[in-house]
Structure formats: C-alpha cells, structure tokens
Amino acid sequence: MGSFIGHILPGTLFLLVGTWHIWGSVMRYVSNPKTFRVQVWNPVPGFNGRLKHLELYVISIGAFIDLCVELLLATRLRFFVGGALNTTYFNNFEHSGMLLMFLIFGVVALLSEKTRRLPLPENALCLIAAAAFCAEYLLFYFHSTTHKGLEGYYHVLLAFLIGLCIISSVSGALLPTSFPVDLCNGIAIALQGIWFYQTAFVLYGPMLPSGCKLRDSNITCHPKESEVRGELFANAQLFVAVLAVLVGTVASYGFAASRYGNCEELASNAS
C-alpha cells in the first residue's frame, strides 16, 4: 500500500466501520444498559430489515475490491517471473493476504447471521476479527522494521493502533457484557482509519514535511532534523486524532442518551 490511494481505500473502510461501531455501541448501551452485549458488527435499523447487514457487506465488498486492486491491478497479473514468484510485488502479495483475512471475516459473519450453515456465537466472531487484525499487525510490524526513517515511524504508530484493535477484539470475546470494551474497539478501528488517511497525506500527498522527498517509493529526509520534525509532527497528528475521536464519542453518547436513552436505568447503572 505504498501509495496515496493504497492508504485512502482501507482508511475509508476502517473509518466508516469504526464510526458506525461507536454509534452502534452507544445506542445499544443507552437503550438498555442491563442487557448490553458486545457485538462485533452492528445492524442498520429500519428499511424493513433490508439494510440490516450493510456493515458486513461493506467490509466484505470493500476488502474484496481492495484485494483486487492489490493482487490484480497493481501486479498486472505478473505473479511469476522465470518460474519464481515475482519479488517486485512482494508488498502487494502481503497486503493481499491481510485483505483476504478481512474478506474471510466478512463472509463468515454473513454466513453466520444469514444462514444456518455456520452458526457462530458472538465471541467466536470477535476472535475471528482479532485474527484478521493480527494478520494486519504482523504485516505492518514488519513494514515498520524494513521501512526506515519517517515512513517506518508512521508504520510503528499504525501497528500500535492495530494492536489496540486486537486487544479490544479479544477482550470482547472474554468480556461479552462490557460496554467500555465494545466502545474501545470502535474507537481503535476509527483511529486506524484516520491514521491511514494521515499516512496517505503526509507520506504520499501534499503534507510531506520540508526536507523530506519521495523517491522511488522511498521517503528520504535531509538533513536529519527534517526527519525528527516529521516524527514530532506525527505525534501531534496522533494526539489530535485521539482527541477528535474522544470528543466525537462523548458528544455522540450525550446526544444518544438525551434522545434515545433510558434515563432511569442509565442513572442506576452509573450509581
């Protein structure tokens, strides 16, 4: 995904899913705190149930489209050279494996929810989601060690956010009635989406720090102080992203509680 569009596509997917997860978690909790359960996906209400599984379709179709971009378009179907795997597109093959995991999660969740062929409990779906995030974490962790300098630093921060997604997903399976765990999962996914956007605009877009240049798909910074400034800028970006998501989460909770909340149960649960 060493390109602008290669970061924007998954970033959009994660941001949409994460934002919807935050809202769904808040709505389910304020409606009835006593019966709250962790959900790895949130149905879309109304429309006579026709859009109930929209989130799962977005995940599946989005992962499939991104998979096609990485595996088919980017490689131009040149998988092998001289009878050996084409090393030029190793990154694309790695990204395809990660996207395949999210595609599998989306398809398995749809089969579990819409058919009787694969009935899985919610905690099992949480663990499958955690497995997909683990595949993503391994990919970007090794990217952070092979991509040096500013590019590597952005991947380190991305791997940190993915780690939060793993922890919150596993915690959701272990603590199926925890509202904070479910909410943290949505926050972590949304932050990951935002960070994909930040990476796209900084490393491959118009926000590349002065003194740093993109050459042959590599970021080089001269003098060294330019790289340090870029890393400090990344820290500030992450802080702003966390602050924005937290403010948005609190605002959505306040709105949902005042508009749709069960005030008596919320008050008794808080006490």
pLDDT in tens, 155-170: 899 999 999 999 999 9
**Mean per-residue pLDDT, 230-242:** 95
What pTM, to 2 d.p., does this model score? Answer: 0.92
**Mean per-residue pLDDT, 226-248:** 95
Is there a contact between 26 and 183 (Cβ–Cβ < 8 Å)?
Answer: yes
Q: Give the phi and the psi of residue 76 in degrees, each rounded to 5.
A: 55, 30
Tell me the percentage of the chain whose pLDDT exceeds 70. 94
Q: How high is the pLDDT of residue 44?
A: 93
d(CA 259, CA 211): 50
Which of 139, 136, 140, 131 lies closest to 40, judged by CA? 131
Helix/strand/coil for 214: strand
Q: List, in order, residues 6 or more apart from 249 with CB less than 8 Å away.
A: 22, 26, 183, 187
The residue count of the chain comes to: 271
Tell me the percentage of the chain whose pLDDT exceeds 90. 59
More confident residue, 93 or 181: 181
d(CA 69, CA 75): 9
Is the pLDDT assigned to residue 1 strictly greater than 60? no
Is the pLDDT assigned to residue 264 strictly greater than 90? no
Q: Give the rounded distance of the alpha carbon of 48 from its chain centre.
A: 29
Q: How high is the pLDDT of residue 218?
A: 77
pLDDT band at 23 (very low <50, low <70, confident <90, very high): very high
Q: Which domain holds residue 199?
A: 4-270
More confident residue, 246 or 218: 246
pLDDT band at 128 (very low <50, low <70, confident <90, very high): very high
Which tens digit of pLDDT belongs to each residue from 201-222? 998 888 888 888 887 777 888 8
d(CA 197, CA 1): 12
The distance between the two most distant Cα atoms of the chain, rounded to a whole number of Å, is 71
Is the pLDDT assigned to residue 253 strictly greater than 70? yes
Q: How high is the pLDDT of residue 266?
A: 65
**Mean per-residue pLDDT, 74-99:** 83
The total number of structural domains that make up the chain: 1
Is the pLDDT assigned to residue 271 strictly greater than 60? no
Share the mean pLDDT of the chain: 90
Residue by residue, what is the 3-state secondary structure of 200-213? HHHHCCCCCCCCEE
Which of 182, 226, 225 lies closest to 208, judged by CA? 226
The full DSSP string for 25-45 is HHHHHHH-GGG----SS-PPP
E strands, 210-269, are 212-215, 218-221
Give 219's DSSP letter: E
pLDDT band at 196 (very low <50, low <70, confident <90, very high): very high
Q: Which residues pair with 220 in a beta bridge?
A: 213
Q: Give the phi and the psi of residue 26 in degrees, each rounded to 5.
A: -65, -45
Which of 193, 201, 197, 178 lies closest to 245, judged by CA? 193
More confident residue, 68 or 89: 68
**Mean per-residue pLDDT, 196-200:** 94
Is the pLDDT assigned to residue 174 strictly greater than 60? yes
